[in-house]
Structures are given as structure tokens and as C-alpha cells.
Amino acid sequence: MVTIPLMAYHVCTVDEVHDGDTIKMHIDQGLGAHRHEWLRFKDVFAPELSEPGGQKATTDLMAILASDGPIFQVITERLAKAVLLIRERQTFGRYVATVIGLGAGGLGPAGFAPVGGAGFPPTVNDQMRALGYTNQGTGAVKR
């Protein structure tokens, strides 16, 4: 018998899209534990809804989520402090995250949860940045 270590991941679905770089997700943490969290896309800078281009950024994000979902994997950033791992939070209490679409089956192209790298489709973050929602593109820099 061979034991292969596997990475555990949380299965998520979208609860609400706030704007082009912030969503609320329903996160299934396993063993009956669920939570709903606001997530800010890492390295994605979209205009606010009240700013020019804000509604288009929201529409662009909704289209990507519709094509990549309905099931997602979320990777949040963690910072090491002494022996404690602390989740990185940006202003307004949102987690900073990379979101990966797993499609209807909940599995990546090779039949397991994607962790990035060659052979995997681009993340939702990658797709938004490709549309110009970066601090060098059409999006507004958030402070």
C-alpha cells in the first residue's frame, strides 16, 4: 500500500459580487463547518462601483465567475509571525485571496484540486489582471 499526501482545500461558491475585486464566498471548511467571508482579489485593482468603469469591472468579474464556476478553490495569503500563522487582511476586514475556478465537477483538469502552475487554467485573478485591472492598467489603485 502506498500513501500519497494530498493537499486539503476548501470548496467555495459565490454568495455575492460587490464590485470588480471584492466578492463574498460561502466556504465549506469540511466536517460540517461553513463560513461566509468577504474576499479581496490579490493583485487585482478594479474601480469602485461609483467610479468610471466600476460597473464594467463588476460585469467582467461576473462573466469570469460564471464561466469558471460554480465551484471554486480559495487560497488566502498567510504571513508568518514567530510560530504563529496569521492571515493577511487588508482594510475593511477582507481576506486577500487567489480564486481558482474548479467548474461544475469541483476538480481541476487533471482530476484533483489545482494548486497553480503549468497545465492549470488561469485563476480568476489572472483573468481580471489580463483585462487590465491592475495598478498599471485600467483599474484604480486601492489604498
- If one counts the domains in the chain, the total is 1
In the structure grid, which three cell numbers stand for residue 59, read together? 460585469
Beta-bridged to residue 72, according to DSSP, are 12, 101
What is the reported pLDDT for 122? 82
Does residue 112 sit within a domain? Answer: yes
Provide the residue-wise pLDDT of the chain in tens; the chain has 143 residues: 554 444 456 788 999 999 999 999 998 887 888 889 888 898 999 999 999 999 999 999 999 999 888 888 887 765 444 333 334 444 456 778 888 888 755 555 444 444 555 556 788 999 999 999 987 654 444 43
Q: Is there a domain that residue 135 lies in? A: no
- Tell whether 139 is covered by a domain: no
Domain that residue 123 falls in:
11-130
CATH number for the domain including 76? 2.40.50
- Inter-residue contact 139 to 46 (CB < 8 Å): yes
Domain contains 75: yes
| 3-state DSSP assignment of residue 93 | helix
Contact criterion met (CB below 8 Å) for 92 and 86: no
Q: Is residue 27 part of a domain?
A: yes
